[in-house]
Amino acid sequence: MHLCRCVLNARRFVCVSLVVAFACSCGNIPVAAYTPKSKLVRSLRKQAIKRLEKADPEELGGKCLIAMAFYNEFGKKSHPKVQSAVAACQKELRGIAPAGIEDNIYSSAIACIFLCKLDAAKYQTEIDLFMRWLEIRQRPYGAWGYPKGGRKHPKTGDTSMTQYVVLCLWTAKENGVPISMDSATKVCNWLLRTQDPSGAWGYQGNDPGVGGQPRSLQQTKIRHSMVAAGVGSLYVLADLLQLVQPRRQSINNTTPSVLRKAPTEIAVPLSNQVDKGAFRSAIDLGDAWFEKNLIYEGTQYTCYYMYGMERYQAFRERFTGRPEEEPHWYNVGVEFLRKEQQASGGWRIGITEVFDTTFALLFLQRSTRMILNPTRFGGTLRADRGLPDGPWKLGKDGRIEQQKIVGPAEEILKRLENDADLEWTSEQSPDVELSNDPEERAAQIARLERLVRAAKFQPRFVAVKTLSRIRDLDRVPALIYALSDRDPLIRQQSRAGLRFISRKFGGFGLPDDPSEPDKQAAISKWKHWYSSVRPDAEFWE
């Protein structure tokens, strides 16, 4: 059973006899102040970790959520839970046929987020496959949802699923993985159109359709978890698409002078297809809804909702530039979890004990905040991060970030063709933006194909990476040729591209460190497959 089924088919939560409502704006119930390192919180986390040590959920998304929580807690990529989740991701990619993965939105998005944060360069092949799966399953109107031919909600977008894909898009982009800005724009507009007039969101979006007015239709099945999903996703997209200039306060100038850069210019929006006024109004209304309705006790799927709340508040802090060390929403959440923790060390408030415990642990860790600013909020919850290799810049909120080169194809192709001594590593290799003009695009692709035979690594790698991400059967001969490349990174990139284009996600073998017979066997199988779909195919020699 996938995570989505687990969430939706869980027994309804039976409300406790006394439901305590609290508003984050007035703080009318006095509570203690907490951080993830407070004594009580550390105790709750320790018991939760003990409960999850032997947990092994069937769902890939559940395995990856547990692995993220353990990685947050101990900072060890070698931890058995972390490595077990990596192995499960790789097994999933080998074992699932394209026709059978449409019902796996949650797991695909969460697995991709997990691998990006663990090591985006090392797991580039797996990340690319998960990202392409998600890309082809986006509905034309912008959201993600249940299978079109299924009995449950085949025609509507699912707010719950969509929030995880939005987070996946942001995480991928932050880690140098190319994403579709058109995809991000479409989902942003869907979220604007499906907001309730009250500022909330429902479970299945009641959509007036592309071109429809935001908040023109009332939404159904409004839940706290869905409101956190909706407004939280908009804050994620605010950062991803650079839609609205953040209202950030000045950062304390404590950065060593050697690392200081000139003041950052105002970010240029990455999409002109989103109404900025409607966007600003939507996040303001979402914030106002929670100022009136913030409760935990008595809500549906409470721990799932609490992790969504933590994510929403982390991105809201990033946007406003007003971080809170002991915010009211967190303090009351800690008190609630303290009362509800079971003798086993876990929680069961709406889904299953394993999932509820994992969501509660991620809330207690303030895990999204750690991802957004690991150098500031690390310590015992993540201590193995250093300066990135290669060119860097001082990024948002004072973070040190690796520079990523993105540019028009013409500019990058000239540098590659001039045989210059470039300093790009595979992680920093440029993302080539091909022209939208059909003739120009065809010419650029032809130049990239010539670079597949280049003498130097960097032109070959950029060419194969770009060709791998074009959904075009005509590119297959070049990628089959690249399977014989002497560099393992180029072979792996070509392998990922062939799997993506063919939709044969298991591929035809070719291990990361193949022998010459391994290479020839894989090349032969790919040629046989391509000849079956293109009988007149001509292959490179």
pLDDT in tens, 496-511: 888 878 766 667 777 7
Q: CA torsion, points 206, 210, 215, 219, in degrees to nearest 10?
A: 0
In this prediction, residues 170-198 reach a mean pLDDT of 92
Sort strands 431-433 and 406-408 into parallel, antiparallel or unpaired: parallel
Would you state the pLDDT for residue 377? 39
In terms of C-beta density within 10 A (0-12 exposed, 13-18 middle, 19 or more buried), how is residue 154 classed? Answer: exposed
Per-domain residue ranges of the chain? 3-251+266-381, 406-533
- Answer yes or no: is pLDDT of 381 > 70: no
- Answer yes or no: is pLDDT of 397 > 50: no
Would you state the pLDDT for residue 30? 57
Query: Which amino acid belongs to residue 224?
Result: H
Query: Which is more confident, 411 or 23?
Result: 411
CA 75/CA 311 separation, integer angstroms: 20
Q: Residue 246: pLDDT band by 50, 70, 90 thresholds?
A: low
Would you state the pLDDT for residue 415? 80
**Residue of 52, 44, 150 lying closest to 105 (CA atoms):** 150
Would you state the pLDDT for residue 508? 76
Q: Residue 10: pLDDT band by 50, 70, 90 thresholds?
A: very low
Tell me 258's DSSP state: G
The answer to whether 460 touches 490, Cβ cutoff 8 Å, is yes
Q: Residue 472: pLDDT band by 50, 70, 90 thresholds?
A: confident
Q: Is the dihedral of CA 182, 188, 191, 195 positive or negative?
A: negative
Beta bridge partners of residue 147, listed in sequence order: none
Six token digits for residue 385: 């991060």
The Cβ of residue 312 has, within 10 Å, a number of other Cβ atoms equal to 26
> What Rg, from alpha-carbon coordinates, does the chain have?
24
Lowest pLDDT segment from 13-22, 122-131, 229-238, 379-388: 13-22
Tell me 487's DSSP state: S
CATH code, 3-251+266-381:
1.50.10.20
In this prediction, residues 164-187 reach a mean pLDDT of 91
Query: 3-state secondary structure string, 143-188?
Result: CCCCCCCCCCCCCCCEHHHHHHHHHHHHHHHHCCCCCCHHHHHHHH
In this prediction, residues 286-308 reach a mean pLDDT of 94
Tell me 195's DSSP state: B
Q: CA torsion, points 399, 402, 408, 411, in degrees to nearest 10?
A: 130
The Cβ of residue 105 has, within 10 Å, a number of other Cβ atoms equal to 28
CA 98/CA 532 separation, integer angstroms: 19
**Residue of 154, 176, 150, 180 lying closest to 165 (CA atoms):** 180
- Answer yes or no: is pLDDT of 262 > 70: no
In terms of C-beta density within 10 A (0-12 exposed, 13-18 middle, 19 or more buried), how is residue 381 classed? Answer: buried
Q: What are the residues whose beta carbons fall under 8 Å from the beta carbon of 248, sequence distance 6 or more? A: 319, 320, 321, 397
**Residue of 104, 116, 106, 112 lying closest to 131 (CA atoms):** 112
User: Among 244-253, 264-273, 426-435, which range has the highest average pLDDT?
Assistant: 426-435
The Cβ of residue 62 has, within 10 Å, a number of other Cβ atoms equal to 24
In this prediction, residues 271-292 reach a mean pLDDT of 93
In terms of C-beta density within 10 A (0-12 exposed, 13-18 middle, 19 or more buried), how is residue 36 classed? Answer: buried
Q: What are the residues whose beta carbons fall under 8 Å from the beta carbon of 307, sequence distance 6 or more? A: 359, 360, 362, 363, 367
Six token digits for residue 137: 């399953």
Sort strands 392-394 and 400-402 into parallel, antiparallel or unpaired: antiparallel
Q: What are the residues whose beta carbons fall under 8 Å from the beta carbon of 107, sequence distance 6 or more? A: 2, 3, 59, 60, 61, 64, 92
- Answer yes or no: is pLDDT of 414 > 50: yes
Lowest pLDDT segment from 25-39, 364-378, 397-411: 397-411
**Residue of 129, 127, 40, 116 lying closest to 71 (CA atoms):** 116
